[in-house]
């Protein structure tokens, strides 16, 4: 296990190089540049003064060099954890990341926890009541939830649950009220929960709908296996048969899916944070792409790549911990 973990960590280095080269090249080759965005429409006029200013700005930011040279310079700075300056915010990118990353990570961890807390008991209950009213009803509801686009659902929630014209139960944007800084801890906590209910709901419903269906299918397959009948014949209790044998084998695909859910959730944060105006990494990335803020784009891509690769590694390790038949030392 230790050697496998080390090999996987070393393999993350060329993978990260490939990710950063691809993102760096695409962002540089895309139409527009941060200097043109900063100078505004006047800079696009083909005047001598405008051209001189633009060329001076390009030299100042090192954007006049060939793309491979720019990448090598960026890579040297990244090794020292220097993400450079934001063209839009005129601040070090690392400061922006420190402000925004905890918001996105906390939202995703809350959503991730809720997804598994809902999906596991719901999937087990549906499988144990196969073809019953609970199974049929929950399957219909989960299928509908799975089909709803997150962007549409978020807009509908704001329109119907945050509007004085309908039901104004929740705030439409932000993470806290304007006077949150003056609140005591518990009122502040209640205010924060009130603000994140709708964003977290948008981030969770497709995830637990998918995992519930997956776990239900796995449980049904395992409950029909011979080893389950053998366990029942040995006189083991229903609780032990279901939760120690059937659920343990059924949950392996759920753990491997974890690696796919984490990247998808961080990607989905971009939409959710934009819809609910949450100042997290998603909104920062969206603004960076629209303003061609290259350094912020690369910082977000690098951090997202590291988180995704780490998620894949943790999923593989958890896979071996759940299924003792799997060994990374000599193959399965």
- The CA distance from 56 to 314, in Å, is 47
Comparing CA positions, the residue from 100, 265, 273 lying closest to residue 198 is: 273
- The CA distance from 234 to 252, in Å, is 25
3-state SS class at 267 = helix
- The CA distance from 105 to 300, in Å, is 13
Query: How crowded is residue 24: how many other Cβ atoms within 10 Å of its Cβ?
Result: 21
- The CA distance from 263 to 312, in Å, is 9
User: CA separation (Å) from 143 to 86, 148, 210, 215?
Assistant: 43, 9, 8, 14
**pLDDT score at 122:** 92
Examine the pLDDT at 118 and tell me if it is beyond 80. yes
- Supply the DSSP symbol for 240: I
Mean pLDDT, range 272-281, rounded to an integer: 86
- The CA distance from 79 to 314, in Å, is 24
User: CA separation (Å) from 331 to 1, 4, 152, 217?
Assistant: 11, 11, 45, 27
Confidence of residue 260 (pLDDT cuts 50, 70, 90): low
| pLDDT one-digit tens code per residue, 177-221 | 888 888 888 899 999 999 999 999 998 988 888 889 888 998 898
**pLDDT score at 331:** 47
pTM listed for this prediction:
0.77
- The CA distance from 193 to 97, in Å, is 23
Distant-in-sequence, close-in-space partners of 182: CB < 8 Å, separation ≥ 6: none
Mean pLDDT, range 119-132, rounded to an integer: 90
Better pLDDT: 2 or 183: 183
**pLDDT score at 325:** 64
Confidence of residue 261 (pLDDT cuts 50, 70, 90): low
Residues 124/130, Cβ–Cβ less than 8 Å? no
| pLDDT one-digit tens code per residue, 91-109 | 898 898 888 888 888 888 8
- The CA distance from 120 to 116, in Å, is 6
Looking at the DSSP bridge assignments, the partners of residue 85 are 92
Q: Please calculate the CA angle 100-15-325 and round it to the nearest 5 degrees.
A: 100
Mean pLDDT, range 135-155, rounded to an integer: 90
Confidence of residue 332 (pLDDT cuts 50, 70, 90): very low
Residues 215/179, Cβ–Cβ less than 8 Å? no
Confidence of residue 18 (pLDDT cuts 50, 70, 90): very high
Confidence of residue 233 (pLDDT cuts 50, 70, 90): confident
Helix, strand, coil shares, percent, the chain, to 5: 75, 0, 20
**pLDDT score at 57:** 79
| 39-48, 192-201, 222-231, 289-298: least confident range | 39-48
Q: How far is CA 10 from the centre of its chain?
A: 23
Mean pLDDT, range 239-243, rounded to an integer: 85
**pLDDT score at 329:** 57
């Amino acid at each position: 296990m230790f050697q496998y973990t080390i090999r996987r960590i070393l393999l993350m280095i060329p993978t990260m190089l490939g990710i950063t080269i691809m993102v760096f090249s695409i962002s540089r080759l895309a139409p527009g540049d941060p200097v043109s965005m900063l100078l505004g429409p006047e800079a696009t006029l083909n005047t001598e003064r405008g051209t001189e200013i633009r060329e001076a700005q390009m030299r100042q930011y090192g954007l006049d060099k060939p793309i491979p040279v720019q990448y090598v310079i960026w890579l040297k700075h990244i090794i020292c954890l220097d993400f450079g300056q934001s063209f839009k915010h005129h601040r070090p990118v690392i400061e922006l990341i420190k402000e925004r990353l905890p918001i996105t990570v906390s939202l995703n961890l809350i959503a991730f926890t809720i997804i598994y807390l809902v999906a596991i008991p719901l999937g087990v209950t549906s499988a144990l009541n196969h073809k019953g009213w609970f199974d049929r009803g929950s399957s219909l509801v989960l299928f509908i939830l799975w089909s709803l686009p997150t962007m549409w659902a978020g807009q509908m929630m704001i329109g119907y649950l945050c509007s004085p014209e309908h039901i104004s139960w929740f705030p439409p944007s932000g993470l806290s009220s304007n006077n949150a800084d003056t609140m005591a801890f518990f009122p502040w906590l209640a205010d924060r929960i009130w603000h994140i209910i709708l964003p977290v709901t948008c981030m969770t419903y497709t995830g637990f709908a998918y995992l519930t269906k997956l776990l239900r299918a796995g449980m049904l397959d395992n409950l029909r296996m011979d080893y389950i009948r053998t366990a029942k014949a040995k006189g083991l209790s229903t609780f032990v048969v279901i939760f120690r044998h059937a659920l343990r084998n059924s949950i392996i695909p759920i753990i491997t899916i974890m690696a796919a859910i984490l990247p998808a959730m961080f990607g989905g944060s971009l939409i959710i944070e934009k819809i609910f105006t949450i100042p997290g990494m998603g909104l920062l990335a969206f603004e960076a792409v629209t303003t061609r803020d290259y350094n912020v784009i690369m910082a977000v891509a690098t951090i997202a790549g590291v988180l995704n690769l780490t998620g894949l590694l943790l999923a593989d390790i958890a896979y071996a911990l759940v299924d003792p038949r799997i060994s990374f030392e000599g193959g399965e």
